[in-house]
A and B are shown apart, each in its own frame.
Chain A
């Protein structure tokens, strides 16, 4: 039973990690229907910005709390700026183009950003400073849930609720939903669609930045390639949960994390990804629009 609980929490925290990235994926997809392949790279850039800023602040000798806050702000600011700029360069001119063209543009952007960081920084793995200390009160259960796991779990939950509230009740959230439903109609009722889409990218990228900061400090190392696999897994999780749905992204991530964890624990980690993808295929066969996705009725 202990073993089960250990595996359960391993899966849960891995799921929470996926969720931090998947939230941004699902938001962008929900609004403009684009698989933003460069999202994983935004997460990577968030991690690199955090790394740079945190190191400088450590050298300056600031207290830990100040470092965490300032690093978080810097990561969010820069990642959001990247998200905003990428949208303007690579996706906006393609609004009226075939959807696949935007996908290829996203793949190209992802390659570009990877190699940009590789060239401007380094190909080596860099040690990421430990920003989240081990909490004393966590010690009795540290072998099951670590302090960073706890912080990630809480952040994920808070982010999810924040985004749900944002989309449901705020002005910008309503504008987002309107844009998602019918872009032309939204324009007709006076919504500045360009601004809404930019805002979506900014929010999604900020989520990725927070993810970059927390996950990098959980794993303890970064390099230019970390965004790729994380991005693919997060995308899988978002689809599993029903892409476009905020709670769906979190649920999908947790299901994916748990599947991988139990597959590792009771079968073999050789096949953890095989299990993850098989589960995805199975769920989509029986529920073609994901766990919480709206069944999309086809207009004739």
Chain B
């Protein structure tokens, strides 16, 4: 691997990076006082850093290529990840589920309320990811404005709570249904669009919702937001902040379990298969007698439903919302969860959400470098594992020729 030629190549690459980063990393000018600051030390950092990284980058790329070559030779089963192989065996599967559930239950007793809080956020994104997975992963409709439905849910709780004093449990279904309605509302005009045109329209839709919330002050209180939203009730008992955090955490654990169960059932249902068929080939799908309009709208509204419900939870958890929480970046993060985890794969999306939401929190140790690292990790993950952490596996039936003697 580390032949002289490779080293030479890396040396050239590092020189290239020195050139590339020169005006940004080395020079810093002050156009008012007309002074120029030359930070020559950065040249050394870039030189050494890019030399090492380029070697690593190409080494991993080389390994990835080797591996994919091997996979093709060995057939499909070995290509499956360890997790899939474990989950196929019921004994292991139940054990894993048991351990996970156990960990989830005792988690708040072992850690601080900060940990519980971010874990709750991560679980919320698990559900959001699973919801978007229906639209993007299963039905293959690229949605860049998913955050709009999340906003609908959050604002419906905030406003109903503010004006009419409605409680969390009463608004939970309302928020979900309202979001689902918005899903259909968005779904109708975009039925004919495909691919990137669909993506930009959904992006526009998401922005429109946010801009209306921002500008229609009389309705949504504008950018200053709505504060003092009540936390979820617990049989009428007033909970302390710490208790409330733990309570919402358990609620989210419950939601996640329910969502996984429902999404799993949905995937194997007639509707779920129709989505997958739609994703693979729209025309063939129609020829098979699947109602395209109904199927697409179902995907949009069901995806939106989950976003709406989590929106309600979000408003209840932070007790304050304003339009700043519902920007395009949020949609991009949820989409990243789905793609990074592995499109269409439920376990993948769960792991993706945990990684992407917990990572920036744990990257806080890197302080100002954390978003830089986050971006770099996103790129590297995609480069080295484009199918996502856990790729979804297609249902396959293997035909085994029967032994002649038996026949």
Query: Smallest Cβ distance from B314 to chain A, in angstroms?
Result: 22
- Which residues of chain B from 330 to 377 have a CB within 8 Å of any chain A CB? 332, 335-336, 339-340, 343, 368-369, 371-372, 374-377
Q: In the complex, are the beta carbons of A78 and B328 less than 8 A apart?
A: no
B200: which of A59, A122, A129, A239 is its contact (CB, 8 Å)? A239
Chain A minimum-CB-distance residue to B340: A104
Instruction: Check A105/B383 contact, CB under 8 A, given A49-B23, A100-B343.
Output: yes
Q: How far is the CA of A284 from the CA of B208 in the complex (A)?
A: 16
Pick the contact of A121: B24, B193, B335 (CB < 8 A): B24
Min CB gap B17→A, angstroms: 8
- Asked if A52 meets B23 with Cβ closer than 8 Å, knowing A59-B34, A108-B382, the reply is yes
- List residues 85-121 of chain A with CB under 8 A from any CB of chain B: 85, 89-90, 93-94, 97-98, 100-105, 107-117, 119-121
Contact flag A119-B23 (CB < 8 Å), given A104-B378, A107-B332: no
How far apart sit A121 and B340, CA to CA, in the bound complex (Å)? 30
Shortest distance between the CB of A101 and any CB in chain B (Å): 4
Contacts of B16 in A (CB 8 A): 81, 85
Total A residues in contact with B, Cβ cutoff 8 Å: 70
A288→B192 contact, CB < 8 A? yes
Q: A56-B36, A285-B192 are in contact. Are A232 and B283 (CB under 8 A)?
A: no
Instruction: Report how far A110 CA is from B336 CA in the complex, Å.
Output: 13
How large, as a class, is the contact surface on chain B?
35 or more
Interface pair A94/B386, CB less than 8 Å apart: yes
Point out the residues of chain A lying under 8 angstroms from B387, CB to CB: 97-98, 101
* Most chain B C-beta atoms within 10 Å of own C-beta, residue among A35, A100, A127, A288: A100
Which of A121, A274, A280 contacts B28, CB < 8 Å? A121
Contact B215 A271 (CB under 8 A): yes
Q: Which residues 191-248 of B have a CB within 8 angstroms of A?
A: 192-194, 196-197, 199-201, 203-205, 207-208, 211-212, 215
Contact B207 A273 (CB under 8 A): yes
A58 interface hit (Cβ, 8 Å): yes
- Say yes or no for A212: interface residue by CB 8 A criterion: no
Residues of A5-48 at the interface with B, using a CB-CB cut-off of 8 Å, are 29, 33, 35, 45, 48
Contacts of B64 in A (CB 8 A): 93
Evaluate contact between B336 and A82: CB separation under 8 angstroms: no
Q: Which of B293-347 contact A (CB under 8 A)?
A: 328, 332, 335-336, 339-340, 343
Give Cα A276 to B211, complex, Å. Answer: 12
Query: For residue A29, which residues in chain B have a CB less than 8 angstroms away from its CB?
Result: 196
List residues of A whose CB falls within 8 A of some B CB: 29, 33, 35, 45, 48-49, 51-53, 55-56, 58-59, 74, 78, 81-82, 85, 89-90, 93-94, 97-98, 100-105, 107-117, 119-122, 126-129, 232, 235-236, 239, 243, 270-271, 273-274, 276-278, 280-281, 284-285, 288-290, 298, 300
Question: Which B residues contact A (CB, under 8 angstroms)?
Answer: 16-17, 19-21, 23-25, 27-32, 34, 36, 42, 57, 61, 64, 136, 142, 189-190, 192-194, 196-197, 199-201, 203-205, 207-208, 211-212, 215, 282-284, 328, 332, 335-336, 339-340, 343, 368-369, 371-372, 374-379, 381-384, 386-388
Sample (29) of A-B pairs whose CB atoms are under 8 Å apart: A52-B24, A53-B23, A56-B27, A82-B20, A85-B16, A89-B379, A93-B64, A94-B383, A94-B386, A97-B382, A100-B339, A101-B339, A101-B386, A105-B383, A108-B376, A111-B375, A114-B371, A119-B372, A120-B25, A127-B31, A128-B31, A239-B196, A273-B207, A276-B204, A277-B205, A278-B204, A281-B201, A281-B204, A285-B189
